[in-house]
Amino acid sequence: MENIFLAIDFTSASRNAADYAANLAGYFGSKLTLFHSYHAPITNFETGYIPPITDMKAESEQEMNMFKSDLQSRFKGIEIETHLDMGLAADVVEENAIAKKADLIVMGIAGQGSIIKEHLVGSVATQIAQDSKIPVLIVPEHCKYTKVKNIAFACDFDKKLETNTTLLKIKYFVSLFDAELEILNVMDPKEEISVEKAATDLFIEEKLQNTRHKTFFIYEEDVDRGILEFLENNKCELIITSPKKHNFFYSLFKESHTKKLAFHSPIPILTIHE
């Protein structure tokens, strides 16, 4: 992994994500790019005054330089560069990450009750993760970096898994971390393992025969509850999911009550698209 792209908004959540990303950069020997997007000037309707774009850019540059200096002083062995762009994070993060040839986008997410000063939190982070072709790592605000030894993969055992590249990408990350993969499938307590699901299980076993892994079938009516309970009871440092409609990740960030649970997730979420 050569390039890690960290999108920041200078909040405590993004500062925590910066520490996590810097640790990853040190572990992989990657270059770390710090990216911040600033808004276009907003007119003061009482005075009619519009702040110059140059002022907003200068303020962002000053804050970015301070951010970089602090991070570099604590992580002296990694290469750090900075980049700014004007626009909403949801619109410009991925295109800038692509321009920087990023292998991974890292973003922080704030927990319930946090004061959100900028736009790079919550639904924006999850929107980027939902749509980005580059893998996105979302780091919860209070999650501190620890070496990744066990990676969970929330899988619905859809037959489409046999026709896309998801497993190859997952194997790549598991290999990078030299970790063990724990595959999770949450089933309704009344559900039986179908022929199709059994066939997909065999396909997964074949593709992962050289990868350390275990498979868990969890019986729980509520999918996200089943996965989060698994994470509470089993030591995993990272969970991977492949975002699409109707799977765990999609439902997790669609509903507000489970969205709050996600904000308090004990471990980072890595999204990998098909």
Domain harbouring 22, CATH code: 3.40.50.620
Q: Are strands 213-219 and 180-187 parallel, antiparallel or unpaired?
A: parallel
134 shares a domain with 10? yes
Residue 104 and residue 209 share a domain: no
Last residue of a domain, one of 88, 117, 140: 140
Are residues 113 and 165 located together in one domain of the fold?
no
Q: E-assigned strands of 188-250? A: 213-219, 238-241
Per the structure, the complete domain to which residue 82 belongs is given by 3-140
Claim to verify: residue 136 and residue 154 sit in the same structural domain = no
Say if residue 34 is in the same domain as residue 122. yes
Whether 80 and 157 share a structural domain: no
The pLDDT value recorded for residue 256 is 37
CB-facing half-sphere around the CA of 102: CA atoms within 13 A:
29
CB atoms under 10 Å from CB of 188, counted, come to: 12
Residue 24 phi/psi, 5-degree rounding, is -60, -45
Collect the ranges in the chain with pLDDT lower than 50. 43-45, 112-121, 246, 255-261
Residues 27 and 129 in one domain: yes
pLDDT at residue number 194: 80
Residues 85 and 164 in one domain: no
Number of domains in the chain: 2
Q: Identify whether residues 118 and 173 lie together within a single domain.
A: no
- Both 160 and 188 in a single domain? yes
Asked whether residue 145 is assigned to any structural domain, the reply reads no
Give how far Cα 194 sits from Cα of 124, 200, 204, Å: 37, 10, 15
